[in-house]
Structure formats: structure tokens, C-alpha cells
Structure 1
Amino acid sequence: MSLSFTPDELRFRDEVRAFIAARLSPELRRASSLNVSFFSYPDIVTPWQRALHERGWVAPGWPQEHGGPGWTATQRWIFESECAAAGAPQLSPMGIKMVGPVLMRFGTSEQKKFYLPRILSGEDRWCQGYSEPGSGSDLASLKTRAVRHGDHYIVNGTKIWTTHAHFANRMFALVRTSDEPRQQDGISFLLIDMASPGITIRPITMISGDHDVNQVFFDGVEVPVTNLVGEEGRGWTCGKYLLEFERGGGINSPKLRHALEKVRELANSDLSCKAISHPEIATKLSDIELDVQTLEFLELRVLSALQRGENPGPVSSVLKLRASEIHQAISRVGVEMIGQNALVEERRRPLHALNDEPIIPEELLSVVARHLNGRANTIFGGSSEIQRDIIAKQVLGL
């Protein structure tokens, strides 16, 4: 896709490029390229977020009154595209793109004043307490309960697939505060301090060997009533609003285009025996290129809506569905190209911390692990089946 920028926009692009050249070190670029999970390790993301915070560029989508840069949709697109092309670490979306917008919409003035600056600075790292054993796609059936005692809630239950809970000091969680005929009506949205007594974190190892997700247990955890976001029993509204931003509030196509270019470079190299010469590989890469272009147009449309102060709406399910499927297509063709090297397994993590000579070239080290981790892309944030149901009902009106 070709975009025509104005002179001011071209100057902004040059400003972004100069900033990246000055603040994104070769070490961070390498570490980011070897990061195989959806989120970056804290030692990768913290220096980059600190640099962005100094410039006021941490939250491109936030309004100025809450610490955002006040960019236009085009500026935001330029920034995201340049960061992706440079291989910059991806900031955790939990705070910036998920709970942040919820606090702006439903939070009290005290909650906004306390939490939003800490999200921007990186002082608070957030995790998401949604899924439970037996309550994943059917999230409204969740059973983690919060019972009010005076000025506190007492929370008991468990959450699962909690990404980076072992690094987080805060959790936003959906909990059951009452039993109603309609399950959604008894759910509330709480902010939980992960240092609270009664919280236990149990690691879950992914198929790739990575420790990204966890099961979190709550045993009599006290949460101040002041940490309730919105009204008690109306947390489902907050949760749905957050999911729109999780699924469609970000910009994925520049990152996917960067990933595709890395795979294309591999296809043209001796490391894959010039796999691009195989018609099947060339066709797959061309198909993915068309999919990325289509996603770009759709994301630009949503960016324009966000610029007007609208939330993403049900089209966020289209974005989430296609972005996750494209991500899997890119990683899958990467595995297909590297042949017997796909049988080599490096279990040590994180990959960017390895100092000895790898068994296979470093360019191939993360290919299989990234592919295996990416199998969850069509599950987390709402499975592809759920997204198709939403699209059918709310977009197509079927």
C-alpha cells in the first residue's frame, strides 16, 4: 500500500527515525528479534519504554489530557510503522492499550490520577485476570468471587493463562460479586495489587518451552472497594469495552509486515536453500502480502474512528481474527522453509540472554519457538470461533 504524506508528516517521520536511531541500541534490536512471545521480557521493554516516556511517546492513542502525544491518525500510523520496521520492542498492551482506556472511560478521577501516570512510566506492570479453568470462551460463567466486607472485597478463586503475571505488580480482573439470573449482571471489574497476601502464582510452560502464562490463585485476598472500576455488578460493560481495545485498539499490520519481510529475507538466503525459488513458497508469501495490505486498510479505517473519539466497536473482531491468522501464516511458512533445522530445539530462555555459540545460525534460532507460541494467537483475546460469531451477529447482522 502506498500512502502520500504531507510535508509536515514527512518531517514527523524523519523525527521518529532520528529518535529511533538515537535511542534504540543494537542490543535492544537483537533482543527484540529473538523475543518469541507476544510480550517482551521486562529487561527488553523497560529501557525502550523509558526512552519513549522521556519523549512523551509511550501511548500514541491516548488523548493529551491523559498524557498522550495528541497525534493524528496518520502520525500514529507513521510512528507504529517506523518502530516496527526498526525492530523496536513491543510495549506490553495490558496497561497502555487495555486497562488504560477503561480507566479513562469508567474510572474515578482518583483512579485516573493515580494509575495513568504509572502506566505511562512503566512503574506499574499489568496482567489480565479474565479466563478461569472452565471459563474461557464462556467468560460470563466465571466463578472467582469477591465478597464485600466493609471497605474491602475478599477475593477467592483462580485465574488461568495469565500472561506475565510473574512480572506484574497489578492485575485488572473480572470477579463475581453477586449471583444473578443473567450471569453477566453479577460481575465487577477490580484492580488488584499483586503483592497482596493470599496471591499465589503457578507457572505454566508453553509448548515452545517459554514461561509466558500462569495460573493465579486468590485465597482471602483483600482488595479496597476504591479499586472497583465503574459500578458493582456492571463489570461486564467494562470488560467488553476493554476487549474491543485488546482486539482492535492497536496497529498490527506494520509488525506483521516487518515479520513478513524477515521471512522473505530468509526465503532469499542460503539458510533456506533459496526457498523463494519454490513456486509454493513464493505463492504463500504473495498471498500473505495481500492479506497484510487488506489489514492495513482496515486498521486505517479504525484509526480514523478512534481519532474521532469513537471506540473500535465490533469491527475489532475482524481485526483480531485476521491479524492472528496472518501471524500464524507467516510463522508457519518460516518453519516450512528451514527444513531439518526445524528439528533443533533450544529450551533455554530467554534466547537473547544466550552467550554461547548456538547449534544453528541465530537467524533460525527463534523460528520454531515463535511458530509454536503463535498457535495461541487464535485463542487468546477470544478464540477465532468467538470472533466469527461476533462478526456474524454484530457486523453482518445474521
Structure 2
Amino acid sequence: MDLRFDEADEEFRREVAAWLAANLTGEFADVVGTGGPGREHEHLAERKAWERRLGEGGWIGLGWPEADGGRGLSWERQVIFHEEYARAGAPGRVGHIGEQLLGPTLLMFGTDEQKRRFLPGILAGTQLWCQGYSEPGAGSDLAAVATRAVLRGGEWHIDGQKVWTSLATEADWCFVIARTEPGSQRHRGLSYLLVPMDQPGVDVRPIVQLTGTSEFNEVFFDDARAAEADVVGAPGEGWKVAMGTLAVERGVSTFGQQMGFAREYEQVLATARATGAASDGAIAERLLDSWMELQVLRHTAVMTLGAPAGSTPGSEANIAKLLWAPWHQRLGELAVDVLGVSGTVAAGFGEGELTPAQQLYLFTRSDTIYGGSNEVQRTVIAQRMLGLPRGPA
């Protein structure tokens, strides 16, 4: 895809930048540069209010069809919004799972009634979602889920456990992959259920990370309930719907991630210059390598955005994940190295006790694991893209 912007697009860019500048003040001044992966604990109440401000301004669901409450904007203008959002230092989104994953899934597979019920809350920034995919015995192997749901008395009764569930403590709803056909195995017999979090049968337990904070969670379902109608797609078609959700992860929000990476890199570079580390030949070479790899990441994002809608789902996203996760880890290592000895000393572990460089270094240890480990990404690429045979179990 050749990503170019015409004068009308650039006028839209100025509109976005002006709105952000006008709104990231006052009550939202303190949220600038906060939140995001590894920092979800920061200013949660203010960032939830910011989500509502975005909804009021019409900045959620930019690419959704106008008939479903979105603005129907082009890819180019969606990219512009994400670039300007990151450039302004706007806070990490607490509603991104609803807007970028569940919303597009409902647009593809949901009934008209489901779209009427759930899309307005996402668009308004008043309804937050989390993703119930991974399990202790089925992390990157989604087809191995053991959580079960039985339809009884007009409700789905759900029992099981999910893990690594981001923002589960804040979410109002969770989209859950559960096995609804007894005796089924692997991809068969799964259903995609919409489950309210505020009920007696749902227990959320935060997981303490290397950083001392907790944005990932375990979620236990003990006879939790979901309405019979709250299944996306037909019962037993959960695998197809789940793959649709994963496929939309390769969308324009990728460019926001790249801009966030660029901002982190600029901070590391500034620190290296301030400490004198940039004059060290080895550090200078690593800084140059990191910058060049960042340009490759952007080029890959452009190619991903330009992939045909009917292309092999997830393949481009697998390649992108395999590129950015190790790069981000190396950036974290570099961030600490340019600080020298002081980078190895921490006041403690927990909210506000680590420097941004230390936070970056520690959290990026998880980058090559969450969202599908690097080993799984290579397997998917080998089998789906290259047609190589399956290896021994």
C-alpha cells in the first residue's frame, strides 16, 4: 500500500491536532504521556473520563460505518488520527479492546440487535471490555481452551478460568471463548460469548508483574451467566468469530503503536545525549540500528494495512509481532544501558517507584510472550504462509 495524504487529509490532521491540544488541558493535563502497556495503572479514573471525552468528540469508531454510529473515515484519515494521538502524548486508551476488537467483530458477525445494544456504549466511551481468550493450559494455543458453557434455562452457565486478561478489573463486559459442545476438541464446539463482569460468578484476581504493578489478571468463572442471545455467530462457530477478532488487530491502530515506539526511542536518544552515552561507539551503533529497525516496522505496518481483506487472516499480524516484540525488548535494554550504573538502581517495585526506562525494560520482557509467543508466531508463519508441514507434537 502506498500511503499518501492529500491536502484534505492534511486539513483533517490539523483538525485532530487542534482538538487534542484544546482538550489535553485542565482536568486532562496530568494524563499526557501516561497509560499504555506496562503503565495501565496510571491515572485510571482520569483516563476513563478521557474515554468519555473522546466519545463526546466523535473520535471513537472512526472507521465504523455511519449506519452503525461510526464516521466511515478512510484508512488514511484513521492513520492520521492515530499518528496525531500518539504525537500529542494522549493517554493510553482504556477502551481500545472494545473499539478495536469487540466492535469490529460485532460489525462482522453480530446480529442487528447485538449491534444496537453494544456499539453505542463503546462509541460513547462508557462501556469497557476485556478479552477472555488465554487460559493456564491454553495460552497461545486458543484451540485448547477448557472453559465450558452449558445452555440451561435461557442462559449460558460458564465455568472455567482465563488468564492474562488486560484491564479485567475495569471492564464491564468480557468476550469469552468457551467450549459449548461436550466432547468437542480443538477448533470445533467453541462459542463466542458476551459475559457481564459485574455478577457473583466472576472473580478477578490481579497478577503482580515484574514491574510490581498489575494490569494482567486471572478471571475465574464459577457458574457465571450470559444471556442465551449473547453469543456472537452461531453456537459452535466461536473459532471462526475468534479468528475474525484476531484478524482486525492488524488495523490502523498499528500506526499509533509505531508513533508510541518512536516517542520512546526519542526519549532514549535524548537520555543518551544527556549522559554522554551517545559518544560511546557501541551505544551509538545500537541507537542507529534501533532507528533503522523502527523504519522497517513502519514499512511493515503500511504493507499490513494494504493487505487485501480476503488474505490469509493473521499472517501479516504474525510477521509484525515477530518484528516489533524483540525490537521493543532491545529498546528497553538500551534505555537502561544509556543510564549507566544509575539504571540498575530502583527505589522499589510498584506504582511510581521505577523510572520510565526501568519500566520499559522490565515490562518489555513480556512482549515476546503475550499476544502469541514468538515460537507460536514462527509456527503460524511456517504453516499458513509457507505451507510447511506440522512438526512433531
Query: TM-score, normalised on structure 1?
Result: 0.88
Amino acid at match of 1:284: R
Cα deviation per residue 1:75-126 (whole Å; 9 max; x = unaligned)? 2222211111221112232111111111111111111111111112121111
The Cα of 1:191 is off from its aligned counterpart by 0.6
The Cα of 1:54 is off from its aligned counterpart by 2.1
Amino acid at match of 1:385: E
The Cα of 1:203 is off from its aligned counterpart by 1.7
**Which residue of the partner structure matches residue 331 of structure 1?**
332
1:178/1:233 contact within 8 Å kept: yes
Matched ranges for 1:341-380 at <5 A: 341-347=342-348, 349-351=350-352, 365-380=355-370
Identity of aligned residues (%): 36
**Which residue of the partner structure matches residue 316 of structure 2?**
315
Q: 1:65 to 1:288 in 2, by over 3 A?
A: farther
Matched ranges for 1:62-141 at <5 A: 62-92=64-94, 93-141=96-144
Amino acid at match of 2:116: K
1:127/1:171 contact within 8 Å kept: yes
1:274 matched to 2:259: no
Amino acid at match of 2:75: A
1:36/1:373 contact within 8 Å kept: no
Cα deviation per residue 1:302-336 (whole Å; 9 max; x = unaligned)? 33347x79896421111222222222222221011
**Which residue of the partner structure matches residue 151 of structure 2?**
148
Q: Quote the Cα distance in structure 2 between the aligned partners of 1:346 and 1:27.
A: 29
Q: Quote the Cα distance in structure 2 between the aligned partners of 1:67 and 1:303.
A: 23
1:189 matched to 2:179: no
Q: 1:386 to 1:140 in 2, by over 3 A?
A: same
Compute the RMSD of aligned alpha carbons: 2.5
SS at match of 1:75: helix
SS at match of 1:205: coil
1:163/1:212 contact within 8 Å kept: yes
The number of aligned residues is: 382
1:39/1:91 contact within 8 Å kept: no
Q: 1:114 to 1:345 in 2, by over 3 A?
A: same
Q: Quote the Cα distance in structure 2 between the aligned partners of 1:166 and 1:123.
A: 15
Cα deviation per residue 1:20-63 (whole Å; 9 max; x = unaligned)? 11111387565453546356443242233233222211233323
1:50 matched to 2:52: yes
Matched ranges for 1:135-284 at <5 A: 135-180=138-183, 182-246=185-249, 250-251=253-254, 252-269=257-274, 273-284=275-286
1:248/1:320 contact within 8 Å kept: no
SS at match of 1:33: coil
Q: Quote the Cα distance in structure 1 between the aligned partners of 2:250 and 2:219.
A: 23
List alignment gaps of at least 5 residues for structure 2.
389-393
The Cα of 1:192 is off from its aligned counterpart by 0.6
**Which residue of the partner structure matches residue 361 of structure 1?**
none
Q: Quote the Cα distance in structure 2 between the aligned partners of 1:236 and 1:172.
A: 13
1:315/1:395 contact within 8 Å kept: no
Amino acid at match of 1:365: T
1:127/1:163 contact within 8 Å kept: yes
**Which residue of the partner structure matches residue 9 of structure 1?**
9
Moved more, 309-318 or 195-204: 309-318
Cα deviation per residue 1:193-231 (whole Å; 9 max; x = unaligned)? 001221111221001101111111111112111111111
Q: 1:108 to 1:346 in 2, by over 3 A?
A: farther
Moved more, 113-122 or 296-305: 296-305
Q: Quote the Cα distance in structure 2 between the aligned partners of 1:48 and 1:310.
A: 36
Amino acid at match of 2:329: Q
Moved more, 382-391 or 237-246: 237-246
The Cα of 1:176 is off from its aligned counterpart by 0.9
Q: 1:243 to 1:207 in 2, by over 3 A?
A: same
List alignment gaps of at least 5 residues for structure 1.
352-357, 359-363
SS at match of 1:378: coil
